[in-house]
A and B are shown apart, each in its own frame.
Chain A
Amino acid sequence: QKEVEQDPGPLSVPEGAIVSLNCTYSNSAFQYFMWYRQYSRKGPELLMYTYSSGNKEDGRFTAQVDKSSKYISLFIRDSQPSDSATYLCAAAGGTSYGKLTFGQGTILTVHP
């Protein structure tokens, strides 16, 4: 079983839609949770990170963590074609905070 599971999609939505991206994890030691965005043939770009459970909002993006169910979510409001990318969830904690464990990534396409 992978420590972080993510539905690879692909996910296709119309412009303006609310996008919900989700991951689950199995390692109870994880305390830090991140979302990265990766455009084709580029490096991952950090979008959000949260510590433990709770919500965090930044512009059109909201990250949620529910440690009781080991569930991580990213919501994108008013999605734009420029949001089309692969979204990677990641987690860290336990004995090595330096090691990020990534999900497989979800491919998102926002069509005009």
Chain B
Amino acid sequence: NAGVMQNPRHLVRRRGQEARLRCSPMKGHSHVYWYRQLPEEGLKFMVYLQKENIIDESGMPKERFSAEFPKEGPSILRIQQVVRGDSAAYFCASSRGASGYNEQFFGPGTRLTVL
């Protein structure tokens, strides 16, 4: 009964490189959410995805950030040309979803450090 899985747990990139963060939802969950937690700040919503669909990307920065949840495989959060300000903990959550509210369960996070 595995929970939400994220990898890598720690990722170090130099400015200008690309970062790819992966998230596998809990078994039976088809909805995935990405959040970012900056030092000394709360969790901020980034994007909500279902298989092959972006439902809500209102929290995604307009440039350099993209997310996908393909039919097969994990959800990917991609950050191109990383800058120091992208250093943060990135959390993925999943839920059963469908309509209305569904409890979101979080993974352990990926801690991105940009040098």
Q: Which residues of A contact B (CB under 8 A)?
A: 6, 31-32, 34, 36, 41-46, 49, 51, 88, 90, 92-93, 96-105
Question: A99-B45, A99-B58 are known contacts. Are A46 and B101 too (CB-CB below 8 A)?
Answer: no
Q: Which residue of A lies closest to B100 (CB)?
A: A97
By a CB distance below 8 angstroms, the chain A residues around B107 are 43
Question: A96-B48, A98-B55, A98-B56 are known contacts. Are A46 and B104 too (CB-CB below 8 A)?
Answer: yes
Contact, CB under 8 Å: B56 / A88? no
Partner of A88 from the list B43, B95, B105 (CB cut-off 8 Å) is B43
Contact, CB under 8 Å: A42 / B108? yes
Partner of B44 from the list A32, A45, A92, A102 (CB cut-off 8 Å) is A102
Interface of A is mostly: strand
CA separation between A103 and B41, bound complex, in Å?
Answer: 9
| Chain B interface size range | 20 to 34
Question: A43-B107, A43-B109, A96-B58 are known contacts. Are A102 and B42 too (CB-CB below 8 A)?
Answer: yes
Contact, CB under 8 Å: A96 / B56? yes
By a CB distance below 8 angstroms, the chain A residues around B69 are none
Question: A43-B108, A88-B42, A104-B42 are known contacts. Are A99 and B91 too (CB-CB below 8 A)?
Answer: no
Contact, CB under 8 Å: B41 / A92? no
Q: A88-B42, A98-B95, A102-B44 known; 9 other A-B pairs, CB under 8 Å?
A: A43-B109, A46-B103, A96-B58, A97-B102, A98-B31, A98-B33, A100-B33, A102-B35, A102-B42
CA separation between A32 and B101, bound complex, in Å?
Answer: 7
Q: Which residue of A lies closest to B41 (CB)?
A: A104
Quick check: is B70 within 8 A (CB to CB) of the other chain? no
Contact, CB under 8 Å: B43 / A45? no
CA separation between A32 and B58, bound complex, in Å?
Answer: 19
CA separation between A92 and B31, bound complex, in Å?
Answer: 15
Quick check: is B59 within 8 A (CB to CB) of the other chain? yes
By a CB distance below 8 angstroms, the chain B residues around A100 are 33, 35, 43, 45, 93, 104
